[in-house]
Structure 1
Amino acid sequence: MSIPVKNHFAAAVLALALSGCVAGGDLDPAPTAPSGGDLVAITATGAGALDGSVRYSSAAVEQAMPGYEASGITMATEQQTQNALALFKDGLQVLQVLPGSGGGIGAIHGVSVRLRGPGGERIGMTMAEARVARADCREGTGNWIGMPICRSRTAPNVTLVFAIPGYMSPDGLPDDATLSTATLQRIIWTPAGGTPS
């Protein structure tokens, strides 16, 4: 199955365009899981049972994640468009798995509201809700131009990718008021020492 990258990306940004608070403030604990509970937790060690030791193939990924169905897709990373495996649970796309070196998994993108990041982050949260500091972020380039790309505060190999509706400037992150409208689009795990894809 092939997903038109530009339409898929634009739809995700529009669907998750939420207002928020100033990034970096002290907040109460993160919101609880949506109805139905978490499907997957992304931690420093991997996403669910997936990590760098799992071979990059539909069969290996499905074996590691019983009850999930893997399907080939085309997706946009920051710098390129590439083939990947999408993992679906009961028709809901939860993860996107990218190939790595040596035939293993290179990166895992969490894209569902029914997963959580290592610090309790959830897709759709504002930067303030995810407790992300401006200093931990850089501006995206290429396919993700204008998007704040931030380090997780609890796992150095997990990256949080936010979007700001209507913001496309390549001149650095916007002012705090604009940055406060950024919403979490994806949570990316990479093997320790790897770079986000």
Structure 2
Amino acid sequence: MKTYFLLLSMILLASCSSSTSIKVTTEPAGAKIYVRSMGTKSYEEMGVTPLTINSDDLEKKKIKDGPLYIDLQKEGYKKSSVLLAETEAVDIEVQMNLKPEDKLDNARKYDELSNQLFEVQRLIRTKSFEEALKITATIKKDFPELSVPNELEGSIYYLQSKFKKSLEAFNLAYSKNTDNAFVLKMKKLIIEKTKSGK
């Protein structure tokens, strides 16, 4: 993955704006846009290109003004990332040409993902929970759109009786895949357990 550090002199269209406006376009269009503040680990999905993101959009996602990372993802193309050094009360335009994925590299990536998931399951069976969580953190970073690592984290926290964290993880997994019956079942189980105090 290649990260592009854009100089402010190249991307600022208006330095005296009263609010933030980030216009994101890609070639081809239709790339998913994920944003996170510097200092945080989790990305928030904002929509697809072309898209203009304003201060209200960032506030709704609880993303603070300041340095921001933007990830651009489209199936069949390599992920691209941009670091915006300053985003407070400025107008910014980001234009990216996405590069097609190498099919062999893509296959290797998913082979590695499969191995990581099997390893997490093995570590859970041996109750090596902290080691398992390190791997799920890596998977979430590489595949933020997947619900599986959040589901696995929910299971780990449940086995540790950390029900608040477990519910948060299952909620995140469900937000990415609402067809997952197991996640829905676990959400209901945890809610019932916490209400009963057991």
Q: Tell me the TM-score normalized by structure 1.
A: 0.27
Report which of the two structures shows the higher radius of gyration computed on alpha carbons.
Answer: 2
Structure whose residues are more often strand by fraction = 1
Q: Tell me the TM-score normalized by structure 2.
A: 0.27
Structure whose residues are more often helix by fraction = 2
